[in-house]
Chain A
């Protein structure tokens, strides 16, 4: 409280500075507050109410939490989602980092822009369209993938129609879409690293690998952390790719939490149950993000 008072009525230079900092943040806070607080509160409130046929709602306390969290369908969806996340998040981040480092080393600017554009193009496609195009590349009979594999003597695979291949196949679509996005962030950060650091390192006789380990990666730490968090959130909330292609099939093999949430809310008209799932997703992501933050975040020293 006292701190706030000092911000409102600054006593010294550092108070004034902090007030300026708060004012910089204020527009964003006001925006998020005004647009999202109300819907968020309402959505959480739904999780304590059951909507009966006819549209009347009835307060049921934690009953819906008990119902959803003991439902095996829900946990299958959670498991599938975690698998998808484990497939796609590390792949995306590592590939994107490698690509960014590679692109950063290409000296011919024109070509570098061409390659960068190619990596980035998938992100320029709407998720649903991207998923549909992939669905069709995966098509077991006249899809391109099986056609290409037939040249290496691999028999046709079922991909999206297989209980075991469907998750990797969908994860691949996510990687494909997101790789350019992450690359872009890394590339921008790489470009911002002051050249003196490298010069100093070279004078000290550091080779390329040492430079990468001791300068580039530590300096990229904020971006790596951010990309990991963003990818986790994006992939945990995977929906469009699944909804547009398998709709959770075959036999629930690609049922994800948000997919189930959508069906529950809009196909089954159970808003309460869906809100419970939303709260679950929110809390899970919050906890994992905080953990990531704790583990990865090291103060950048200059």
Chain B
């Protein structure tokens, strides 16, 4: 069915030698070890969010918090900052960016991958080139520009530079490039228009990439800090990262609150990831190889 393993057709171990079974376990073990290592800082973060300020500073270090159900940091986070509002703002901003990016990027990716209009490569390079410009150096002119468009302190102002991401165009182009040209030609012979091909041949074959783009783009914008900070003034328009950063200041970092806020800000993303992850992995079943 897909490339998961050569043995999907019957039971997992059927037709495998002992060596292959061991090999498979070894892979699982390695993947799991890596995952746990990568995950550790989050565990640490979650634990810290249950500690009080003096507890964190304790030497020698004590791993476990004094009280496992000490949620005062979480209450404090919500008390100090309207975090629910921030969560909502971030969701709005990140969703707009992700969806618009998906639409425009997959179209552009198709265009760049499968057509030969004049100047194609130059255009593509120009688009990728935008990524190479340090954002810090265009912040001031970009702010000016947003100001002319009247977008300061609005959701549109936050997402405007992110409505289409270069990365999205790149990702979709690379994914669509992998689709055999035969499929497209076959569809043309069947009398499909180009747009029709896009919807009925291209999109179904790149669902994993689309889901990837949605997830990544969503997170990207969820975690954007610098630009929203520059365009947003009203407390009601602030996004999660700005709330997060309010627990650090010129002199010190309130780690117990910062970690609590970080945990809060990650949970929604985790939810989205788990929802969309299924598309990344299983979409292939739907890709309906017509060859």
Q: Do chains A and B touch in the complex (CB under 8 A)?
A: yes
Residue positions of A touching B, CB distance < 8 A: 3-4, 7, 17-25, 27-29, 31-32, 35-36, 38-40, 42-43, 95, 99, 102-107, 109, 111-130, 132-134, 136-137, 141-144, 147, 176, 179-181, 184-185, 187-196, 198, 202, 216, 219, 222-223, 225-226, 229-230, 233, 237, 239-240, 258, 261-262, 265-266, 271, 274-275, 277-278, 281-282, 285-286, 289-290, 300, 302
Q: Is B107 an interface residue (CB 8 A)?
A: yes
Stretch at the interface among B65-73, B80-88, B136-144: B136-144
Residue positions of B touching A, CB distance < 8 A: 1-8, 12, 24, 27-28, 30-32, 34-36, 38-39, 41-42, 44-45, 56-61, 104-105, 107-108, 110-112, 114-118, 120, 123, 125-138, 140-142, 144-145, 160-161, 163-164, 166-167, 169-171, 174-175, 177-178, 180-182, 194-195, 198, 205-206, 208-209, 211-212, 215-216, 219, 222-226, 240-241, 244-245, 248, 253, 255, 258-259, 262, 265-266, 269-270, 273-274, 277-278, 280-284, 287, 289, 291
The answer to whether A118 touches B138 (Cβ under 8 A) is no
Residue in A closest to B208 when the chains form the complex, CB atoms: A188
Q: Which residues of B contact A188 (CB under 8 A)?
A: 175, 208-209, 211-212, 280
Q: Which residues of B contact A113 (CB under 8 A)?
A: 274, 277-278, 281
The answer to whether A24 touches B115 (Cβ under 8 A) is yes
Residue in A closest to B242 when the chains form the complex, CB atoms: A126
A78 vs B117: C-alpha distance in the bound complex, in angstroms? 38
Which among A176, A193, A261, A289 is the interface contact of B41 at CB below 8 angstroms?
A176
Using known A-B contacts A40-B133, A42-B141, A125-B266, determine if residue A118 contacts B35 with beta carbons closer than 8 Å.
yes
A142 vs B259: C-alpha distance in the bound complex, in angstroms? 16
A196 vs B2: C-alpha distance in the bound complex, in angstroms? 9
Residue in B closest to A259 when the chains form the complex, CB atoms: B136
A198 vs B262: C-alpha distance in the bound complex, in angstroms? 43
The answer to whether A120 touches B170 (Cβ under 8 A) is no
- 14 pairs, A vs B, C-beta closer than 8 Å: A25-B107, A25-B108, A39-B138, A40-B130, A103-B31, A115-B32, A126-B224, A136-B255, A144-B44, A181-B216, A188-B212, A225-B174, A258-B136, A278-B138
Which among B137, B141, B175, B206 is the interface contact of A274 at CB below 8 angstroms?
B137
With both chains docked as a complex, state the minimum distance between the C-beta of A92 and any C-beta of chain B, in angstroms. 12
Q: Which residues of A contact B216 (CB under 8 A)?
A: 123, 181, 184
Most chain A CB within a 10 A radius of its CB, from B41, B126, B164: B41
The answer to whether A24 touches B198 (Cβ under 8 A) is yes
A12 vs B99: C-alpha distance in the bound complex, in angstroms? 35
With both chains docked as a complex, state the minimum distance between the C-beta of A208 and any C-beta of chain B, in angstroms. 8
The answer to whether B31 touches A99 (Cβ under 8 A) is yes
Q: Which residues of B contact A19 (CB under 8 A)?
A: 117
A-B pairs, 5 with minimum CB distance = A21-B115, A24-B111, A278-B137, A39-B141, A188-B208
The answer to whether A17 touches B245 (Cβ under 8 A) is no
Residue in A closest to B245 when the chains form the complex, CB atoms: A128
The answer to whether A28 touches B134 (Cβ under 8 A) is no
Q: Which residues of B contact A282 (CB under 8 A)?
A: 129, 132-134
The answer to whether A300 touches B138 (Cβ under 8 A) is no
Q: Which residues of A contact B278 (CB under 8 A)?
A: 113
With both chains docked as a complex, state the minimum distance between the C-beta of B284 and any C-beta of chain A, in angstroms. 4
Which among B32, B164, B281 is the interface contact of A187 at CB below 8 angstroms?
B281
Which among A32, A38, A275 is the interface contact of B137 at CB below 8 angstroms?
A275
Residue in A closest to B136 when the chains form the complex, CB atoms: A262
